[in-house]
Structure formats: C-alpha cells, structure tokens
Structure 1
Amino acid sequence: MSQSLMPSLYTKQLLIALLCIMGGCLANVMVLEKILTRAPQAQAIGKIITLGHFLFIALEGLQDAVAYHPKRGLTLRPRRIPLNRILCLVALFWGSNVTNNLAFAYNISIPLHTMFRSLSLASSMLLGVVLVGKRYNVLQVLSVVLITLGVFLATYAASSADTHKAQDGAAEENFDRWLTGIGLLVATVLLSSLNGIVQDLLVKPSSAESDPGSEPVPRWEEPLPQWKEVMLYTHLFGIPVFGVFAGDICRNVHVFLEDGTLLGLLALNAFTQWLCIRGVLQLTQLTDALTLTMVITLRKMISLLFSVYFFGNAFTGLHWGAAFLTFGGSVLYAVVAKRPKAKLKAQ
C-alpha cells in the first residue's frame, strides 16, 4: 500500500502511473481513431488490433516472468494463481477485448464507444447483486441510473445522426450494422463486468507478496506480483484463441503490411495500450477507488474532446447532455463509494 512507500518513491510511482494513464490511454484512443480513419473499409481490423495488443503485452511480460536457473537454464517463475483460475479469466478477458474492438467495424464512433463503456458500472452493480449478493445504497443506485440515462441518450443521438447522414436506400442497412455494433458493445460491457467479479473471487491477495520482512529468494523461485501475473497470462494464453480468426486475419493483414504508416500506427497502438494498462494497475495499488475513478473519468472526457476536435466526430447538444450524465454519474458513484457507510459488499 502507499503508506509503506517512502514519500519520494510514492510520489515518483504516482507520477509515472498518472503519466501512463493520461499519456498512454489518451494516445491509445487517438492512434486507434487514426487507424480507423486510415483503413475504414479493412475487414478484421478490430481482430488484428486486438491480436497486436495481446502479442505486445505478452512478450513484454515474459521478460519479467522468465528467469535463469543454474541447473535448468531459462525457466518460468512460479505462479501464484492456479492454472484453472487463469484460464477462466482468459476466456472472459479475451471475449471482452475482441467484442470491444470488433464494434468499430459496425459504425460505432469513438465518442459513443467512450460513453457506452461507462455502462460497465451499471452492469457490475447488476451482476454483483444477482451473482454474489452485493448491496448498494440509494445514492449509488442513483449514480448508476444517471450513467444509464446518459448512455441511452448518447445512443439515441448517435442513431439519429447516422440515420440522417444515410440516403434512404442505405439508411436501413446502416442502421442494421449499427445495431450489431451496439450488441457487441453490450456484450463487451457484460463480459468486462463479469471478468471483474470473477477476478475478485478467484484472485485473492497474497500476504507474502507484500511482506517486507520475508527472506529474499532466488529470482527463479520468486513469483511475479499478482497484477503482473494476471496481466501476462490473460494475454499470453489468449493468443492461441485468435486461431478461430486465422483465415480472416490472414486475408486482411496485407492492409497493414502494405502500408508502413498503418503498420507503425498498429505498433504504437499496442505500445500505448500497454502503457495504459500498466498505469491503471499501478494507480490501483497506489490510491483509492475514488482517485482512480476520477482520473479515468477525466481521461475519458479529454479523449472525448480530442475525438470531436481532431477527428470531427458529430457532437450535438444531446451528446453533451449524455456526457454530463455519464461522467457525472461516474464521479458521484466514486464519491459515494468512498464514504465509510457505503459498503459495497454484502454484510
């Protein structure tokens, strides 16, 4: 926890985490939108982008996970989390990431995507009540209602804009594709929320992990920190699953290979995704839920403004009202959850 760190070290780590989020996450969204505008007709683009994320983060994580053993040579450091639990997390994490990026192929704009993902708070609350018996107070429920209203308003505004842009003959086809994209976003939100609940149940804090008085052990005997272990193996074990898309990816990867700029953007997108995830995980360890939610909400608002300003995405009064409800509800939830009497777990 942050209290166990020296002030200067804590400040340094906090600044690094904030830079990773405000720099990495913001850059990731902008690079993603640049890819989407440069190759708008490319099929399987979401699958290729997601595979790039998994490959980069897994390869980077292996640098920490591999150690040299005097007798066995290069070996993987021992795991804290059993394999069956990791595989369960892999299935949910892989599904949420793939559906998330697939949605962009179905006329889903970055502003709508940004606000729709805030609906994960509502789905987490619903699944928490149904699956693990969590209880929430009135203000928490109110905040989720505000978020939900904001998402519905944003969805309505987006559907109206798409309908008006299309010609009569194309309007119905565009609307059907857009509905498919909305369905993928709903699946993303549900899978992401379920992943969070399952991770809370399966990944228990390890006292040995943070015990400063424990005896030092050789690197090949020392497990990774749990957050690094989850980050590595959910990406590493998720890579083979992309085999189900092998044909589609192989048929369309030439779009990136034939365009050096697009290939560079893909690499930059994977790198900034890694920065973003590291920043969020590190800030989770250093601060409380309120600070984390406020930082992420601020990042989403800036991403939204950048998307509108730099990429010319439509943003009407309805969109602004939706943004106010969505992000305001997120901040309200974090503030209420911080209060001592607002217990999120069932008594």
Structure 2
Amino acid sequence: MSSAVAPIFGVLGSCMGCMIFVENIAKQEPSAMNLMTFSTFLFIAAHGLIFTSKFFTVGNKIPLKGYVWTVSMFFIVNVVNNQALNFHVPVPLHIIFRSGSLLATLLLSVFLIGKSYSIRKYLSVFAITIGIVVCTLATSAQGGDSSLSYEEASKHYKEWSIGIAMLTFALLASAYLAICQQQMYETYGKHPDEAMFITHFVSLPFFLIMGGDIASAAEKLSASAPYSILPGVPSLWVDLAASCLLQYYCIKFVYQLNSRVDSLTVTLVVTLRKFLSLIVSIVYFKNPFTTQHWLGAVLVFAGTLAFADIWGGKPVQKKDDKKSQ
C-alpha cells in the first residue's frame, strides 16, 4: 500500500487543483468550454506522442479498430460534460451529478451485460438517485430569481434544463464508455499509457467541427486581464495551461493507482476526490449551498461508498491467490 501513497495524493491534489482553474474559466468565460476540452486533449496527445509513442516508432499493443467505440464515447463524454457548464449548471451540481456514475453503470451492466447485484447495491443506487434529484431541485429553486422578467426566467430555466439533460446523457455515455474499455482490456490486455495516448490523439480531428467556436473563445481568453505575476500574459490563458497540466496528472495518477491497488481502493479515492472538489468549489468560489444541497450530497457520496462495500464485507480471495499461498 505504501507504493500507492504518492498516486493517492497525486489524484487528490491534481484533480482538486484542476477543478479550481476549470471553474475559474467557466465563471469568467463560459463559452470557452470547447477550447478547454480541446486544449486538454491536445496537451495529453502531444505528451503521449513524444513519450509513449515516441513519434509512432513504438507499435500499438491494441489495434486501432479496438479503440473505435472507446474513442467515440470518450470524446462525446468529455465534450458534453464541459459544455453543460455553458447552460447555467453550477459546478457543485456538476460534480454531484457526475458522482452518480455508479447508477448509470449498474443500469447498463444489468441491461447490456446481464449482470446481477445484491439488494444492498440497489439500495445504495437508490440513495444516489434521490441525492441527485434533491440537489437538482434545490438548484432549480435557486434559479427562480423574482427580479428577473418572465422572459428572462423562462430562458434561464430552459437553458438550465438543457444542461441537466446533457449531464444525464453524459452520465449514461460515461457508463457505456467504462463497459467499452473493460471489453477492450479483456480482449487485448491492459495498456493504460497507450490507451491514454490513442484516445486523446485520435479524438483531435473531431474538434474541427467546433473550430469556429474554439477560435472565438481563444480571442476572448486573449482579451482577459493580464496575469499579475506575468505582465502581458492574459490570466485566463494561464488558468487554461494550469488546468491542462493538472488534468494530465490527474488522469496519469488514476492509471497508476489502478495498477497498484484494487478497484475498491480506487473507487474510494475517486469518490473522496469528488467530495473534496465539491468542498473546494463551495468554499473557494463561495457557491450557494443550502441544507438541501448538503442532504443530497451526503446521499450521493454515502450511496457511492455503500455501493463499493467500503463499510463491510470481507473481500473474497481468488482461487489463484489461495494456491500461491
């Protein structure tokens, strides 16, 4: 477990730090979400091209055809999740909503793969669902500003509803992505560094569809106030660079952690990271968070941990482990 200490702190530190810069960009220039997604993909793809693929001199362990569904779903999930921030979806709700991935995974695993689960897991998923609904309704109530005209309030609510619909779609797509990745690894073996590079690199051409939006957002970032420590450098470009770097390390440390500890520990660390990111978002940016929000958040995170059997249940030893002893 000592070898996992560095990846654990790496996941917590880099992912939480990344969320600070992402939310700062989202608050000042919400139309920059496609640019932010593209920049992250470009950074990770460039790093993989140099250090993993070594400019395509290292052959792939997994054929490109094995990546088709994974790349498609990966691109869609990332773009839709970030775009949802452009439709008046607060970052705290965004974090909580994405924490419901276990619900989507359970549903798709039951209907697509035919898996069965214990009553405890179904109850935990029910708690997660209720938590998300509670938080969503609380945020919806906050949107009802009496100072807005009927037309403005109606437009705000419609855009917010679109954002929630996008998060719901991304939640299901993310669960399907996990199934695609699992099937790919079962077929070709686990090659996380290669998968990380290929999924980002092959996705880059898709951003041509959003070329105009990305270019427009780049102009807006260039017009932002200069960074205090670096005179002449737009502050939002500094935030974007920092978010790309931290996002890379966040993904990298999750892959490292996955190779050193069991999936249960990974689930716990990722859940803890989401909860801490939520706290940072509330405190650092002074986002409104009512008692109703806290109730929903507790249901979501407690349900997630219950689903992962954090509080009980002795892990079953594999037959191979017993033989080795």
Deviation of the 1:166 alpha carbon: 5.7
After TM superposition, give the deviation of residue 64 of structure 1 in Å: 2.3
Give the aligned partner of residue 10 of structure 2. 20
Q: Residue 93 of structure 2 contacts residue 139 of structure 2 at CA under 8 Å; is this kept in 1?
A: yes
State the one-letter code of the partner of 2:17.
A
How far the C-alpha of 1:249 sits from its partner, in A, is 1.5
* Alignment-derived partner of residue 63 in structure 1: 50
CA spacing shift, 1:179–1:257, aligned 2, 3 Å = same
Contact 1:32-1:269 at 8 Å conserved across structures:
yes
Task: Determine the structure 2 residue equivalent to 1:70.
Answer: none
The alignment's TM-score, normalised by the length of structure 1, stands at 0.84
In the alignment, the residues of structure 2 paired with residue 116 and residue 97 of structure 1 have an alpha-carbon distance, to the nearest angstrom, of 14
Q: Which amino acid aligns with 1:289?
A: S
Percent identity of equivalent pairs = 32
**Alpha carbons of 1:94 and 1:264: their partners in 2 closer, same or farther (altered >3 Å)?**
same
Residue in 2 aligned with 1:318? 292
Q: Deviations over 1:119-162 (max 9, x none)?
A: 11111110001111111110011111110110010100010011
Q: Is the 8 A contact 1:290 1:338 kept in 2?
A: no
Which amino acid is the alignment partner of residue 53 of structure 1? T
Secondary structure at 2:207 match in 1:
helix
Match of 2:195 among 217, 222, 230: 230
1:198 corresponds to 2:180: yes
The whole-number CA distance in structure 2 between the counterparts of 1:270 and 1:338 is 39
Q: TM-score if structure 2 supplies the norm length? A: 0.89
Q: Are 1:253 and 2:235 an aligned pair? A: no
Aligned to 1:134: 115
Give, in whole Å, the separation in 1 of the partners of 2:56 and 2:288. Answer: 52
Query: In the alignment, does 2:146 pair up with 1:158?
Result: no
Residue 58 of structure 2 corresponds to 77
Contact residue 166 and residue 174 of structure 1 kept, 8 A: no
Which of 35, 54, 60 aligns to 2:25? It is 35
**In 1, Cα distance between the equivalents of 2:185 and 2:272?**
29
**Aligned-pair CA distance for 1:163:** 1.5
Q: Post-superposition shift, 1:298?
A: 1.6
Q: Is the 8 A contact 1:123 1:190 kept in 2?
A: yes
Whole-angstrom distance in 2 between the partners of 1:75 and 1:189: 33
Please, which runs of 5 or more residues in structure 1 have no aligned partner? 1-9, 68-73, 208-224
Please tell me whether the aligned partners of residues 87 and 237 of structure 1 are also in contact (alpha carbons under 8 angstroms).
Answer: no
Closer/same/farther in 2, CA of residues 176 and 166 from structure 1, 3 Å limit: farther
Paired letter, 2:110: V
Cα distance in 2 for partners of 1:311, 1:57 equals: 28
Match of 2:127 among 146, 155, 172: 146
Name the residue aligned to 1:102.
Answer: 83
Match of 1:297 in 2: 271
Q: Which of 166, 182, 196 is the matching residue for 2:164?
A: 182
Query: Within 2, Cα distance between the matches of 1:135 and 1:192?
Result: 20
Alpha carbons 1:79, 1:229 under 8 Å: kept: yes
Q: Distance in 2 between matches of 1:178 and 1:206?
A: 41
> CA 1:339–1:133 in structure 2 vs 1: closer, same or farther (change >3 Å)?
farther
2:322 counterpart residue number: none
The residue identity in structure 1 corresponding to 2:38 is L
Structure 2: distance between partners of 1:172 and 1:108: 15
Which residue identity lines up with residue 241 of structure 2 in the other structure?
A
Structure 1 residues 142, 14: closer, same or farther in 2, change over 3 A? same
- Structure 2: gaps of 5 or more residues: 225-233, 319-325
2:240 corresponds to 1:281: no
Residues in 2 aligned to 1:76 and 1:28: alpha-carbon distance in whole angstroms: 32
Which residue matches 2:323? none
What displacement does 1:252 show? 2.6
CA shift in 2, pair 1:193/1:75, >3 Å: closer
Give, in angstroms, the shift of residue 287 of structure 1: 1.1
**Superposed displacement of residue 262, structure 1:** 0.4
The 2-side partners of 1:133 and 1:155 are apart by 30
Give 1:334's match in structure 2, choosing from 304, 308, 312.
Answer: 308
Following superposition, the deviation at residue 203 of structure 1 comes to 2.0
Asked whether the 8 Å contact 2:26–2:33 carries over to 1, the reply is no
Deviations 1:191-239 (A, max 9, x none): 11000001111222767xxxxxxxxxxxxxxxxx701111000000001
Residues matched between the structures, number: 307
Which 4+ runs in 1 deviate beyond 4 A? 336-341
After superposition, the C-alpha distances for 1:67-90 in whole angstroms (9 at most, x for unaligned) are 4xxxxxx64311111111112211
- CA distance in structure 1 between the partners assigned to 2:147 and 2:246 by the alignment: 34
Deviation at 1:256, TM superposition (A): 1.7
Tell me the equivalent position of 1:244.
209
